[in-house]
Amino acid sequence: MLFRGFEMLLAAWLLASPFVLPGSQELPGGWMTLPAAAAVVASVSLLSFARGLSKLHLLNGLVGLWLVASGMMTTPDAPPVAQSGQIVGLFLLMTAILPTRSFSPSREWTAYVERRRRIGMRTRRHLD
């Protein structure tokens, strides 16, 4: 859940960056490239919370690849907005591989702990 929230913050920055940073006209596809990517990232991040769509967040990796590639397709002196898009694309690549429910234990582990609890075995918490 934390990583999908971070992706929402990245989407907000993608939406605001063409208006804050100069050089958005030099991007391939014009200034609408980053807001369109922001819409995709935000919708994918929100939809990945649904039960059947839990793997949908992997599409944000494709958006990250597109942002990095589109920044490289600009002029050799990339404008600040293209550089920002590349950095956000790299962040999206890093967070896209992390599962939505990464902080909760797996079902197998929870079943194992419950079995041990039922038969009265305690788990060692410290190695004192």
C-alpha–C-alpha distance, residues 96 and 98, integer Å: 6
Would you say the pTM of this structure is higher than 0.85?
Answer: no
Per-residue HEC secondary structure of 17-85 comes to HHHHCCCHHHCCCHHHHHHHHHHHHHHHHHHCCCHHHCCHHHHHHHHHHHHHHHHHCCCCCCCHHHHHH
Q: How do residues 28-75 score in pLDDT, each as one tens digit?
A: 777 788 889 999 999 998 888 887 887 888 899 999 999 998 888 877
Q: For 40, what's the count of Cα atoms within 13 Å in the CB-facing half-sphere?
A: 18
Q: Show me where the domains of the chain are located.
A: 2-102
pLDDT of residue 73: 81
Q: For 87, what's the count of Cα atoms within 13 Å in the CB-facing half-sphere?
A: 11
C-alpha–C-alpha distance, residues 9 and 3, integer Å: 10
pLDDT of residue 100: 66
| Residue 16, phi then psi, degrees to nearest 5 | -85, -25
C-alpha–C-alpha distance, residues 126 and 6, integer Å: 33
Distance of CA 95 to the CA centre of its chain: 4
